[in-house]
Amino acid sequence: MQELTHYIDGAHVKGTSGRFAEVFNPATGEVQAKVPLASKDEMDKAVAVAQKAQPAWAATNPQRRARVMMKFVELLNRDMDKLAEALSREHGKTLPDAAGDVQRGLEVVEFCIGAPHHLKGEFTDSAGPGIDMYSMKQALGVTAGITPFNFPAMIPMWMFAPAIVCGNAFILKPSERDPSVPLMLAELMEEAGLPKGVLQVVNGDKEAVDAILEHEVIQSVGFVGSTPIAQYIYAQGCANGKRVQCFGGAKNHMIIMPDADMDQAADALVGAGYGAAGERCMAISVAVPVGDETADRLIEKLVPRVEALKVGPYTSGNDVDYGPVVTAAAKANIERLVQTGIDQGAKLVVDGRDFSLQGYEDGFFVGAHLFDNVTKDMDIYKHEIFGPVLSTVRAQSYEEAIGLAMDHEYGNGTAIFTRDGDTARDFAARINIGMVGVNVPIPVPLAYHTFGGWKKSMFGDLNQHGPDSFKFYTRTKTVTSRWPSGIKEGGEFSIPVME
């Protein structure tokens, strides 16, 4: 069995804690590797290496740091197929979806190439007699990120690319479920010219997380995962004086108005609801048709599409729509919630409970499920399922539909499908959710905008990537400068004011 490593000071380093986690092939259910789980001592050593490497990197001018990102983009494109295959093997995603995971991270790296512009400060000439004022954006120092299993390439790059191009060192604690791609990314960053020790990968569980939160050298922490853990990391990180951004769970609604193109809406729901087996924080898990006639038309369109979905291993190439979920525990939780929906009175229109794939009976495959007549008091509506399950909640009016999304505790993403511009404009303006799609089912912003939800989907003040990332990974220092020019008045003892 393969034994994975940490990546510290430019080298693969075996774990010394004696603790390991199993890494599965979700398609077969087999253990394919074991990954070391770092102790506090191992984390401390990695931080010490980062602290030593960071000052020289921060002193490197932004244009040279950006050139490392340029080369990194080239290497990501070169190794795209290799990265996608490794990602699919541990996560279960289809190969095209895995390549998309890498691509969306790559696009953030491309945005970071503009660091010389984004790191410019402000200047005021002659703010007072002989006085100039200017601001500088300076690196924080050693920063850290704790990333989830569902995007093992994209989200690490969303964090470490802006952090590093701003002049910081970065400690990455990836998910122990699919750690190979983060290790490969660290290798590629150094091949691109990044000095050793600036980016390090330390695998681990809660012990490693707590070591990050408690380490006084680490200045900021980014996190993506479930809301309970996001709340814990945010509270502990802030209590320890760190800058923290945490992104939690989601329950994304898509409202379908009576005037919507029903074929377009159905296609969008199938892709957004079942892609990546529903293991996306931006997946649409709730369809809200307005009016019973709209709902009946939508269900009629959805059923054959959902029943036709092809489920299989990533080795099937482009011939499958989605693969297995990541672990046996994830599969069991999805199946439990599906049964809860039935028990609480929802109508299971497409039943995927008996799904089995010949030759892969031990894999973590879950059939596609479609519910109708779901109500907001049901568990399948209240909780994030993170699986191939779409719930239909019928609304009798636009106001009822928008109210469902606005009243839910999560506020990550939402969408509306309509041909009416006035309705769409009202929806975008009123909805209390961070990312909004108009006839776009998964409104993940492009790299030069920011990504972030509201309510219990996000804890912190600044979003991921885009302009916010350069704010999050830097501190602003403002300098007031005065050079002697024959001024001989002597000291002043009252507070200075501008005349």
For 64-83, how does the pLDDT look when each residue is reduced to its tens digit (9 = 90+)?
A: 999 999 999 999 999 999 99
Give the catalytic positions in this structure: 281
Asked whether the predicted pLDDT for residue 290 surpasses 60, the reply is: yes
Q: Which amino acid is at 314?
A: Y
Do the beta carbons of residue 164 and residue 170 sit within 8 Å? yes
Between residues 494 and 333, the one the model is more confident about? 333
Pick the CATH number of 2-248+457-479 from 3.40.50.970, 1.10.357.10, 3.40.605.10, 1.20.1050.40: 3.40.605.10
User: Which CATH number applies to 252-438: 3.40.50.1970, 3.40.50.620, 3.40.309.10, 3.40.50.410?
Assistant: 3.40.309.10
Q: Where in the chain is the domain with CATH 3.40.605.10?
A: 2-248+457-479
Task: Judge whether residue 488 has pLDDT over 80.
Answer: no
CA distances from 243 to 82, 144, 219, 455, 460 (A): 35, 10, 6, 19, 8
For 209, the token pair is: 């997380």
The rounded distance, in Å, linking the Cα atoms of 367 and 387 is 9
CB of 405 within 8 A of CB of 436?
no
Is residue 498 over pLDDT 90? no
Phi, psi dihedral angles at 255 (to 5 degrees): -90, 130
Q: What are the residues whose beta carbons fall under 8 Å from the beta carbon of 426, sequence distance 6 or more?
A: none
Residues 312 and 103: their CA atoms lie apart, in Å, by 23
Domain with CATH 3.40.309.10 in the chain: 252-438
Residues across the chain = 499
Q: Whole-number mean pLDDT of the chain?
A: 96
Task: Tell me the C-alpha distance between 413 and 452, whole Å.
Answer: 9
d(CA 202, CA 345): 46
Per residue in 171-226, pLDDT (tens digit) is 999 999 999 999 999 999 999 999 999 999 999 999 999 999 999 999 999 999 99
Phi, psi of 475 (to 5 degrees): -115, 145
What pLDDT is stored for residue 484 in this prediction?
A: 76
* Residue 367, SS3 per DSSP: coil
**What ranges in 7-39 are assigned the alpha helix state H?**
none
Where residue 491 falls among pLDDT bands split at 50, 70, 90? low
CA dihedral of residues 142, 463, 459, 7 (deg, nearest 10): -30
Mean pLDDT value across residues 30-48: 98
- Helix (H) or strand (E) holding 481, with range, is strand 474-482
**CA count, 13 A, side-chain hemisphere, 396:** 1
Could you give the angle at the alpha carbon of 408 between the alpha carbons of 390 and 415, nearest 5°? 55
Q: CA-to-CA distance for 106 and 123, rounded, in angstroms? A: 33
